[in-house]
Chain A
């Protein structure tokens, strides 16, 4: 979607870009593109690995390729040598004292570059790589966090599918608690009824005991009252006779 935005932005700028060269490092040398059409800026192509090839650090390779069909491999070198000799002989290049100092300076520079070039390049590459690694890490961290969020979302969505387990458990719990309450109340009813019935029974028992006791005491009282004096004397005499008999019997036994 972003590419469409970029393309439309490029289209609005197209009239001004018509005179401009097309952007696209590396593509410029391979295809002769005319100044028509809209340059597409997205996706941005990656940086090329190496720059254009250069010989002696001064002359681009394209010059040698340009002369190759007509003069072969040694053409540009001959051209260079001839030009140098021509400049020297016609004194278009004047030999002064500065020439020797410049030769010494340039020699020193070349020596230094040849000797320390690779290590400096390595150092710079490492710096670049560190930067890239940090950015990559940030990108990966962001991707990972988003992925984690996605996974959590999916897990929660899956959980939603399993909600019915929760509802079943809740329903079971409620049914059980209802059952428990019902049984509790049933038991309470039983207890209350039993309580009342026990009360009536105990009331009856108490009443009957009271009647019994009252009757027994009344009977005793009447019996005691009915024993006249004469009967009492006769009973006591009989008891004494019985006791004497018993005493005789008791005396007789230990002899045997």
Chain B
């Protein structure tokens, strides 16, 4: 499946599943590359939800909700012991 655009520069949603491993391996995993990826993600979110004329609370609340979910996942190991029933 030769595509007109070279594989390295495609975005994730345009990559076919068969090409996925090679796409993942081709990404930039140097510290600068990872920092660049974080930077790009932050910029995308910021420019879409926060850096607008009439922003809403959604820009902030989504970040807080993601933090809540993430911290719940981290502390699931301790929370498992507070279950009400043993078998589900």
Interface residues of B in 16-70 (CB under 8 A from A): 28, 33, 36, 40, 43-44, 47-59, 61-62, 65
A121 near B10: Cβ-Cβ < 8 Å:
no
- By a CB distance below 8 angstroms, the chain B residues around A128 are 53
B60 closest partner in A (C-beta):
A57
User: Which of A4-12, A89-97, A162-170, A246-254 lies on the face that meets chain B?
Assistant: A89-97
Least CB distance from B30 to A in Å reads: 11
By secondary structure, the A interface counts as: loop
B84 contacts A by Cβ under 8 Å: yes
- By a CB distance below 8 angstroms, the chain B residues around A93 are 72
A72 contacts B by Cβ under 8 Å: no
The CA of A95 and the CA of B84, in the complex, are separated in Å by: 8
- By a CB distance below 8 angstroms, the chain B residues around A58 are 58, 61-62, 65
B84 near A48: Cβ-Cβ < 8 Å:
no
> How many residues of chain A are within 8 Å of chain B by beta carbon?
34
B9 near A18: Cβ-Cβ < 8 Å:
yes
B79 contacts A by Cβ under 8 Å: yes
- By a CB distance below 8 angstroms, the chain A residues around B57 are 57, 113, 117
- By a CB distance below 8 angstroms, the chain A residues around B82 are 94, 96
B51 near A25: Cβ-Cβ < 8 Å:
yes
- Interface contacts (Cβ under 8 Å), in number, total 90
Least CB distance from B12 to A in Å reads: 11
B68 closest partner in A (C-beta):
A102
- By a CB distance below 8 angstroms, the chain B residues around A19 are 9, 28, 33, 36
A91 near B9: Cβ-Cβ < 8 Å:
no
A125 near B54: Cβ-Cβ < 8 Å:
yes
A18 closest partner in B (C-beta):
B9
8 cross-chain pairs, A with B, having the tightest CB-CB distances, nearest first:
A54-B58, A35-B9, A25-B47, A51-B52, A51-B49, A57-B61, A52-B48, A91-B83
A-B contacts besides A34-B14, A51-B52, A51-B59, 7 pairs, CB < 8 Å: A19-B9, A25-B51, A52-B48, A54-B58, A57-B58, A90-B88, A91-B85
Q: List 24 A-B contacts (CB under 8 A).
A: A19-B33, A19-B36, A25-B48, A28-B44, A32-B13, A34-B11, A34-B14, A35-B10, A48-B52, A49-B52, A51-B50, A51-B52, A51-B56, A51-B59, A54-B49, A57-B56, A57-B57, A91-B84, A91-B85, A93-B72, A94-B84, A96-B82, A125-B53, A128-B53
